[in-house]
Amino acid sequence: MRIGVFFETYRGEEQLWDSPAAKAWLALFALAMLLLPWWGSDYIVAMACIVGIHLVATLGLNITTGGAGLISLSHAAFMGVGCYAVSWFARWGLPFYLALPLAGMLAALIGMLVGLPSLRVKGMYFAIATLAAHFVLGFLFREWTPVTGGPRGVTIPPASLFGLELTGDRRMFYLIYACALALGIAAANLGRSYVGRAFIAVRDRDISAEILGVDLLRTKVLAFMTGAFYAGVAGGLLGYFYGAITSEYFTFSLSVFYLAAIIVGGMGRVLGSVLGAVFMTLVPECLRLLSSATSAWMPSLANLLLPMGQVVFGLLIIGFLILEPHGLAQIWARIRRTFHLWPFRT
Amino acid sequence: MPSRRTLLKTAAAASVGIAAWRPGFAQTKADIVIGAAHPMTGFMSFAGVASNHALGDYIAWRNQNGGVLGHRIRYVGEDSAYKVDQGVAVVKKMIASDKPSFIYLDGTPLSKAVARDVLSTQMIMTGGFSSSEALLDQKAYPHHFLSGPTFGATHEILMEYIGRVAKASGSAPRIALVYTDQEFGNEAIPHSKARAQKLGLPIVQEVVTKPTGVDVTSEVAKLRRARPDIVIFQGYIMNPVPEFVRQMREAGLTAQVMSTTYGLDRIMYEALAKNGERLTGVMPYSYGYDTESKTMATIREYVAKARPQQDSISVFYIHAWLTGMIFCEVAERCIKAGKPLTMPNMKAALESIRDWDTGGLTGLLVDLSSHQIKTGRIYSYDPATRRMEPASGWIRV
Amino acid sequence: MTDFYIFLEFTLLGLLSSGVAALIALSFVLVYKGTRVVNFAAGEVMMLGAYCYYTAAALWHWPPVLALLAALAAVAVVSTCIEALVLRALAGQPTISILMATIGLASLLHGAVEIAWGQDPLETPALLPRMPLNFGEVMIPGAAIGNFLLAAALIAALVAFFRYTQTGIAMRATASDPVTAATLGVDIRSSQRLTWILSGTTGTVAGALIAGAGSVSPALASTALSVFAVVILGGLDSVAGVILASLIVGWLESLTVGYVGGKMRDVFPYLVVLVILVVRPHGLLGTREIERL
């Protein structure tokens, strides 16, 4: 609650902004994003597309792990399922607005299978069971050649909207961010619904939730399926974006990357997913730019780019966990609170 | 005291002005830009660092020797860390800002991922580290070429040699294949088996290992039962081959040890030589210490001046230098014919390269009409000179 | 009869190779048992130990045993630092936070090792002499018996330590109920520190054994991932479970290589784990956690 902000209608309380100033900033941001393919260079648009794909996946993981407390180490594998599914649907001629949701649903189905043990197996055992699932799915990606193309991978024909082919980053940008926007609003609404509150109840104390009437198995499996759906859609977008994908892309490190994104961003909040995805994608890029900028007078630094990136990654995670466990979203909220009535103190 | 508003307005105007200012400069002959995404960090760093040096060295050397018909060559080398995400971002940035005519790519996944972007410019030809035959698909990758034989072709050369030796000695050796569960390992195997069958050579066992396998005791046990005379390792740079071979010897197997290209470099043959092993195998290029090759002498001379602490020239270095040579040869042919450097012209120029002399780098004259160079030679380790010496003439398949 | 010998050979090889896996799995279990933390950085600590052993043995030319002791000392220091700096600060936070902290730590250690020693494989002298055994149809390669004996000796020593020494019993007390142990006068802090040091010890010995087989490289850390199947199968907090599970998994992996083919080698144990978890959700010998409201 902030001073000077009070709602007069129920409608007002449900809005995504909480003051006219916030509304104005949001509108400005939306306009800038809409026009990004115009004012952005190729590089910026490409980075924005990659950030968008990571954003969709992070939103999903934040529902499963941040919302319902189920640690999922197999998120990257679900992305793979979505990607391969899209390659098949697209080859059968399905347009992207059918292929993407269907791929998501297929990933959700696999997510249901992985999430089923969650009633019997809890906590760390469950996390490692998801790790086992990740390895099994990875094995299928590599070996099941008729479906996944084996180590060669698959190619995905570009998406097309009523005959207009969505080739090139500038067009894919709109597709990716349309999906991200829709799924982000869905995630926010989920948090405010009965299902979302059930997730949080299960996260905090599942025995108490069960006593209160929440069906544990259904809720946990639903949380897993939702996260997997998002991952599947993200995988499909990845396929459309790259056009060709091999099984080497969906590694355990990718799952760890998404976990880091939700920790750094803030677990359980949509804004946390956004900030986390942006931050985690841009930090390695910034490091790379930094090392190439300083490569003139410190050439050996370039050789250390990847290990330095890992060190920074590790320090970031540990730093955030020790200093700000609620992530960037909390820092953001604090900054907003400070500036809300600036220069007056609250 | 100007108000805050006027200050802000001036700053905004100034920044717009600076952003819009483009210094004009005159150029005589347009630079040819060669870009590259090397895995300079990560688990492939030994390859990426070498190939980055090699391309940089070749381009510097070529510029010192007249460039390409007077055109200077500019080199843009970036790090991809062998990650598709980073490689794609780096390549897209390069295409947008440096506008290269040639790009050297770090491997098959990256080559596939950027294919669409590269093709859509119709102005770029790519080469790179991959030896996968998937990239020879002219419909999907008409802009790409391989600077050597594919994995499959390499094995065909090896089988040809084994077949010749078998015919000379009168008996067919039993062959076992040990390979990794990755493209570097398993892509060659169907070709290997097909050529072996054609030549009447029996393949008695196939053993698959993880690429980073540590415990190989069970795999050796499986191999031992088949009693092979020749064991061919495919897809390993070094580990776990020395331990594998040590266990093979302890198990009483006296089979000959063979390998190919990237598994035949110094790090492998020296590790095996420490245990008294003599490695044999196929290499599509001469080794860095070869004295017959003019180009190799040039390379050694340049490296001695530019980087005296580099004491050997690895196969990754040679591969990248050769790719640089091919890039410049294609550019030269286009310019000589008066055609601009567009992808169709460059492809035609590439395919016109038959009987091209690389100064001994590849032994035989190079034929790139099929977008690969299907030649190689067998080398064997000589304990006297402590190097790999040629054990056959150059073979073309 | 040859078929039986083939089966026997694969079985023996599998059981013998389980020694090193048991050591790595033990480093997980010790930490979990002592401090309820799942240490995803165990692979990296093992790798650090292997690199320290390499430095002492190959660069400073110390005899292998001294080099191992030096590596153990170095890893003990690092473990103490980790425990003091990172895990103290995160005491009491939810599981996911501590999990992510160990993952971040793994990344940090990995990057630091690569910066310090470079990314290429480095040849390492072997820790133990090779003793190949050949009896008739069955052949055991040189390193297998030595590794197994060393691993078995170390595990036996640890079990004896926990059972019979004062410090060991104090650590077990801290593990099962820190508050009560504190009221009885046990120094909890040093028990937990010692737990981490012991975990680092087993990891280092495993790393040195693996590195001695060939060379040490940053890829060493990823061998720890495959050990998760063993840890879960045995039960996260059971030493006996770890021993049993590593024998089972080692045996299964060997049979998979021998009869099915090397590709399935990694996946098969995980499939088995997934099946076992349905029947015994806390692993074979893990303690059933009783949740209270």
How far, in whole angstroms, is CA C256 from its chain's centroid?
Answer: 22
Side chain identity at residue B225, one-letter code: R
Model confidence pLDDT, tens digit, residues B100-122: 999 999 888 889 888 888 888 89
* pLDDT per residue as tens digits for the range B252-265: 888 999 998 888 88
C7 at interface of B, judged by CB pairs closer than 8 A? no
Contact list in C for residue B212 (CB cut-off 8 A) is: 219, 222-223
Q: Is the model's pLDDT at C205 over the cut of 80?
A: yes
> Which of A79, A166, A246, A250 is most worth mutating to test chain B (most B CB atoms within 10 A of its CB)?
A246
From the CB of residue A195, how many other CB atoms can be counted at a distance below 10 Å?
A: 19
Q: What DSSP designation does A267 have?
A: T
| Alpha helices, H only, chain C | 2-35, 42-54, 64-82, 88-89, 95-117, 142-164, 166-176, 178-183, 188-212, 228-234, 239-255, 267-279
The residue segments making up the domain with residue C146 are 11-127+139-221
Burial class (CB in 10 A: 0-12, 13-18, 19+), A297: exposed
Of A304 and A59, more confident: A59
Structure tokens at A31: 């306009």
Q: Given an 8 Å threshold on Cβ–Cβ distance, is C228 in contact with A120? A: no
Q: ω before A343 within 30° of 0 (cis)?
A: yes
* Cα-trace Rg, chain C: 19
Give the span between the Cα atoms of A284 and A264, in whole angstroms.
14
Residue C247 lies in a domain: no
Angle at C222 between CA A225 and CA C34, to 5 degrees: 80
Specify whether the CB–CB gap between B287 and B385 falls below 8 A: no
In the three-class reduction of DSSP (H, G, I as helix; E, B as strand; rest coil), residue A7 is classed as coil
Contact assessment for residue B228 and residue B204, using Cβ atoms and an 8 Å cutoff: yes
Distance CA C140, CA C132 (A): 6
For the segment A246-287, what is each residue's pLDDT rounded down to a tens digit?
888 898 889 999 999 998 999 888 999 999 999 999 888 888
pLDDT at B23: 45
Q: What is the pLDDT of residues A318-334, one digit of tens each?
A: 888 888 888 899 998 88
**Both structure tokens of B376:** 């190689």
pLDDT value for A79:
95
**A119 touching C (Cβ < 8 Å):** no
Predicted local confidence at residue A86, as pLDDT: 92
Residues of chain C contacting residue B210, judged by C-beta atoms under 8 Å apart: 262, 265-266
Chain A residues lying within 8 Å of B132, measured CB to CB: 152
Chain A residues with CB-CB distance to C279 below 8 A: none
Q: Look at residue A109 and tell me whether its pLDDT is greater than 90.
A: yes
Residue-level pLDDT at A345: 67
At C138, give phi and psi (nearest 5°): -100, 135
Residue C107 near chain B (CB below 8 Å)? no
Is C253–B252 a contact, with Cβ atoms under 8 angstroms apart? no
| Distance (Å, whole) CA A68 – CA A203 | 5
Domain count, chain C: 1
Q: Give the confidence band of A154 by pLDDT, cuts at 50, 70, 90.
A: confident
* Helix, strand, or coil (residue A294): helix
State yes or no: pLDDT of B191 exceeds 50. yes
CA dihedral defined by C115, C121, C123, C127, rounded to 10 degrees? 80
Distance between CA C53 and CA C209 in Å, rounded? 10
A291-298: long-range pairs with CB below 8 Å, 24+:
A291/B79, A292/B78
Query: Would you call A249 and B109 a contact, using CB atoms and an 8 Å cutoff?
Result: yes
Neighbours of B137 (CB within 10 A): 13
Instruction: Decide if pLDDT at B129 tops 80.
Output: yes
Is residue C162 in a domain? yes
Residues β-bridged to residue B177: B206, B232
| d(CA C130, nearest CA chain A) in Å | 34
Chain A to chain C Cβ contacts (< 8 Å): 139
Res. A147: pLDDT tops 90: no
Shortest distance, CA A278 to any CA of chain B (angstroms): 14
CB atoms within 10 A of CB A342: 8
**What's the confidence (pLDDT) of residue A123?**
78
pLDDT at B25: 41
Distance CA B334, CA B326 (A): 12
Gap between the Cα atoms of A121 and A221, Å rounded = 13
pLDDT recorded at residue B24: 41
Please say if the pLDDT value at position B124 is more than 80: yes
Quote the minimal CA–CA distance from C185 to chain B in Å: 45
The verdict on residue C259 lying in a domain is no
Q: CA-based angle B120:B123:B125, to the nearest 5?
A: 100
What's the mean pLDDT in A51-78? 93
| pLDDT value of residue B9 | 66
Residue A185 has pLDDT above 70, yes or no: yes
CA atoms of B36 and B59, how far apart (whole Å): 12
Give C118-174 pLDDT, tens digit per residue.
Answer: 877 787 888 787 777 777 777 777 778 888 888 899 999 998 998 899 888 888 888
* Predicted local confidence at residue A244, as pLDDT: 83
Mutate to test the interface with C, among A321, A323, A326, A330 (most CBs of C within 10 A): A321
% residues pLDDT > 90 (chain C): 19
Cβ–Cβ contacts within 10 Å for residue B152, how many?
A: 20
Provide the chain A residues 50-79 that lie in CB contact (below 8 A) with chain C.
65, 69, 71
Contact C223 B214 (CB under 8 A): yes
Burial of B392 by CB count in 10 Å (0-12 exposed, 13-18 middle, 19+ buried)? middle
Percent of chain A with pLDDT over 90: 36
Maximal C-alpha separation, chain B: 101
The closest alpha carbon to C233, from C206, C251, C256, belongs to C251
Question: How many contacts, defined by CB atoms under 8 Å, are there between B and C?
Answer: 88
> In chain B, what residues touch A168 (CB-CB under 8 Å)?
120
**In the predicted structure, residue A233 carries a pLDDT above the cut 80:** yes
Q: 3-state SS string over chain B?
A: CCCHHHHHHHHHHHHHHHHHCCCCCCCCCCCEEEEEEECCCCCCHHHHHHHHHHHHHHHHHHHHCCCECCECEEEEEEECCCCHHHHHHHHHHHHHHCCCCEEEECCHHHHHHHHHHHHHHCCCEEEECCCCHHHHCCCCCCCECCCCCCHHHHHHHHHHHHHHHHHHHCCCCCEEEEEECCHHHHCCHHHHHHHHHHHCCCEEEEEEECCCCCCCHHHHHHHHHHCCCEEEEECCCECEHHHHHHHHHHCCCCCEEEEEHHHCCHHHHHHHHHCCCCCEEEECCCCCCCCCCHHHHHHHHHHHHHCCCCCCCCHHHHHHHHHHHHHHHHHHHHHHCCCCCCHHHHHHHHHCCCCECCCCCCCCCECCCCCCCCEEEEEEEECCCCEEEEEEEEEEC
CA distance to partner chain C, nearest, from residue A56 (Å)? 21
Domain ranges of chain A: 39-251
Q: What number of helices (H) and strands (E) belong to chain A? A: 17, 4
Q: Does C234 score more than 50 pLDDT?
A: yes
Per-residue model confidence as pLDDT tens digits over B288-344? 888 888 888 999 999 998 888 888 888 999 999 999 999 999 999 999 998 888 999
Contact in structure between B262 and B126 (CB atoms under 8 Å)? no
User: Is the pLDDT reported for residue B1 higher than 60?
Assistant: no
Chain C residues with beta carbon closer than 8 angstroms to that of A309? 111
Q: Would you say residue C84 has pLDDT above 90?
A: no
> Where residue B210 falls among pLDDT bands split at 50, 70, 90?
confident
- Could A169 and B182 be called an inter-chain contact, meaning their C-beta atoms sit closer than 8 Å? no
Predicted local distance difference test score (pLDDT) of residue B19: 47
Check residue B291 and give its pLDDT. Answer: 85
Helix (H, G, I), strand (E, B) or coil at C279: helix
pLDDT tens digits for C22-55?
999 999 899 888 888 888 888 999 999 999 999 8
Instruction: Give the model confidence (pLDDT) of A190-222 as tens digits.
Output: 988 899 999 999 998 888 998 999 998 899 999
CA pair distance A21, A27, nearest whole angstrom = 10
Interface mutation vs chain A, best among C32, C107, C217, C287, most A CBs within 10 Å: C107
* Token pair in block for residue C136: 């008739």
Dihedral Cα A45, A50, A56, A61, nearest 10 deg: -150
The count of C-alpha atoms lying within 13 angstroms of the C-alpha of A79, restricted to the half-sphere facing its C-beta, is 31
B124 close contact with A: CB closer than 8 A? no
Number of residues that make up chain C: 293
Rounded to whole angstroms, the Cα distance separating B97 from A289 reads 14
Residue of C nearest to B209 (CA): C262
What pLDDT score was predicted for residue B27?
A: 45
Q: Is A255 an interface residue toward C (CB < 8 Å)?
A: no
Q: What percent of chain B has pLDDT over 90?
A: 24
Q: Which residues contact B135 (CB under 8 A, 6 or more apart)?
A: B108, B111, B112, B141, B144, B146
CA-based max dimension of chain A: 66
Q: In what order do the strands lie in the sheet with B175-180?
A: B203-209, B175-180, B230-234, B256-260, B280-283, B375-382, B387-396
Please determine, for residue B29, whether its predicted confidence score (pLDDT) is greater than 80: no
Compute the nearest-CA separation of C96 from chain A (Å): 7
| Lowest model confidence (mean pLDDT) among A292-306, B130-144, C275-289 | A292-306
